[in-house]
Each structure stands twice: as structure tokens, then as C-alpha cells.
Amino acid sequence: MPLEPRTQAHSRTKMTEYVLPQHTNALGGVFGGQIMAWIDLCAAICAQRHAGRMAVTAFIDDMKFEQPVRVGEVVRLDAKLTATFRTSMEIEVVVEGEDAATGRRWPCVDARVTFVAIDEARKPAEVPALALDSEEVRASQAAGEARRAARLSPRK
């Protein structure tokens, strides 16, 4: 029986992290690898909420770090499912820095991650479709399909 489509809202995942000295480099800014780990975690929760089962990271698109986040500041992550395929899901994670005292926010990085749902035997498992319930979500699914074609083209 086909799985019931699920809305973007069903799996939307937000995380907030406080930057401590152990997260930072010699300049007092968060390590890129630490931000990537938080992105992976936030996207993993989003993927598992949508799929209703375990999911693993298959691919991370290029990332550009725009502005640093420093010790004593806040990292905000917002993961949103942008497209679904048969067993894989594309998730966008928008990361911002925040000064908690003033409320000022700035862009840090915008990442796209592909997760694959897996079954008990660790084999790829079908995921529910993204519910195409608005023009915005339909456009998101179409754009995700185009990005997926570009991503997978070297494998052909």
C-alpha cells in the first residue's frame, strides 16, 4: 500500500546551540566541521521524522560559510524537507548566527543534505512523498528534482 504523503510542517526541525570555547578555532569562531556536525544532526532528525524510520546521510552539497559565529553567540539551525524521491529525501538547513543579548541575526550557511531511509537490514526503504499542498512546495519539489539530476549525473 502506498505511504501517505507528509507535509513539510510534519518534519520541520529547529535547533539552537550556544557557542562554547571547545567549539571554536584560534580566532574564536566556530569550526566549520562543528557547524557541519550540527547541520547533519538537524537534517537527520528532519529526515527521520518524515520517513518514520532511520535514515543515513548520502550526500552533502557544496557549502559556503558566509559570516562567522563566535564564542558566546548562538547558532540557529532550521531544517526543512525540500523534496522526496523513492527512498531519498533532500533537506535544506539554514544556519544563522544570533547575538542573544541584542537579537541581531546574520546568515552563516545554507546547506542541502540528501538522506536515504533504511530498513532493519540497512537497505534503502521507501519514504512517504512530500505533500504538494501549496505552490511553494510544488516549486520546491521541482527544483529538488533538477538538483538531484545534477547530483547523480556523475554516477551515470
Ligand X SMILES: CC(C)(COP(=O)(O)OP(=O)(O)OC[C@H]1O[C@@H](n2cnc3c(N)ncnc32)[C@H](O)[C@@H]1OP(=O)(O)O)[C@@H](O)C(=O)NCCC(=O)NCCS
Tell the smallest beta-carbon distance from residue 49 to ligand X (Å): 16
Where do the H-state alpha helices sit in the chain? 8-11, 32-51, 135-152
User: Quick one: how many helices (H) and strands (E) in the chain?
Assistant: 3, 5
Least spacing, CB of residue 9 vs ligand X, in Å = 22
Please say which residue, 19 or 43, places its beta carbon nearer to ligand X: 43
CB 7 within 8 A of CB 75: no
Nearer to ligand X, 64 or 122 (CB): 122
* Residue among 82 and 88 whose Cβ is closer to ligand X: 88
CA 149 to chain centre: 19
- What is the β-pairing status of strands 88-98 and 105-117? antiparallel
Residue with cell 558566546: 72
Closest CB to ligand X among 61 and 110?
61
Smallest gap, in angstroms, from Cβ of residue 57 to ligand X? 4
Q: What is the spatial distance between Cα 101 and Cα 111, in angstroms, rounded to a whole number?
A: 26
- Least gap, CB of 149 to ligand X (angstroms): 10
Residues near ligand X (CB under 6 A) are 56-59, 85-88, 114, 116, 118, 124, 151-152
Residue given cell 563566535 in the structure block: 70
